[in-house]
Amino acid sequence: MTSAEGGPQAGLRALLRPAAVIPVLVVEDAELAVALAEALVAGGLPVLEFTLRTPAALQAVQRVAVHVPGAIVGTGTVRSPDDLLRSADAGAVFAVSPGLSPRLAEAAERSPIPLLPGVSTASEAMSAAERGFSTLKLFPAVPVGGVALLRALGGPLPELRFCPTGGVSLKNAPEFLALPNVICVGGSWVAPAEALAAGDWTTVRALAAEAAALRPDSQPLPDCSAR
């Protein structure tokens, strides 16, 4: 492991490497989590982010961690040391935050799981790098400058890698993924609310496969939905 993958982000790039797109998931009913995760993994998106925006999120993480072996499950909207601890206890193997506060950065240094923190400016990226974070979430990606900002950051900060999230879609994701400092993107379009409400896992799998194809080396995995 290189030094860039140590400290509060030990192993993070290896976890994210299978992902062209990380589905950003808001789950209201934990009962749906396993079927949702199976559809996404079968479509070729194994790295999943369940946001801590609903009471069902941690239970969803627990279920997926146990019942979907192909899933690399993490939590999003992590805002506090307690969120980070509860994520690890639920079975998450990584966590994602919208920003990086001093308390959260300190907690990440002691955390059993790596943190992908959000930044939106060069100063924030430099501050995060000083604390040992070399892989960052650009958030909200499109509103703060998107592809143009990432291209500009690549010159003075070549060692950093980004997962842009916020305003990323099937249409603009290829522009982000073509940048050398982008490791993956985050997006919610692969799991639309109407498909979740209807239990339409065929559509979710198809959207996942379409997203996975944005990176040629991402291949759909064997169907696990029949279990």
Q: What domains are there in the chain, each with its CATH number?
A: 3-212 (3.20.20.70)
Overall average pLDDT of the 34-41 stretch: 98
Of 1-10, 76-85, 123-132, 180-189, the poorest mean pLDDT is in 1-10
- Strands in 135-138's sheet, in edge-to-edge order, are 118-119, 135-138, 161-162
What are the CA-CA distances from residue 183 to residues 162, 165, 202 (Å)?
6, 12, 27
Check if the beta carbon of residue 96 is closer than 8 Å to that of residue 116.
yes
Give phi and psi for 180, each to the nearest 5.
Answer: -70, -20
Residue 4's pLDDT is 54
Asked whether residue 223 carries a pLDDT value surpassing 50, the answer given is no
Rounded to the nearest integer, the mean pLDDT of the chain is 93
Rounded average pLDDT over 105-109: 97
Position 103 confidence tier, pLDDT thresholds 50, 70, 90:
very high
Asked whether residue 222 carries a pLDDT value surpassing 70, the answer given is no
Q: What is the pLDDT of residues 11-26, one digit of tens each?
A: 999 999 989 999 999 9
- In this prediction, residue 113 carries a pLDDT of 98
Give the residue numbers annotated as catalytic, written as ranges.
Answer: 49, 137
pLDDT of 6 reads 76
Residue percentage of the chain with pLDDT more than 90:
90
d(CA 12, CA 37): 20
What pLDDT, on the 0 to 100 scale, is given for residue 205? 98
Amino acid of residue 209 = A
Q: How confident is the model at residue 5 (pLDDT cuts 50, 70, 90)?
A: low
Place of tokens 């979907």: 68
How far does Cα 33 stand from its chain's mean position? Answer: 16
What number is the average pLDDT over the span 123-148? 98
Q: Is the pLDDT of residue 34 over 60?
A: yes
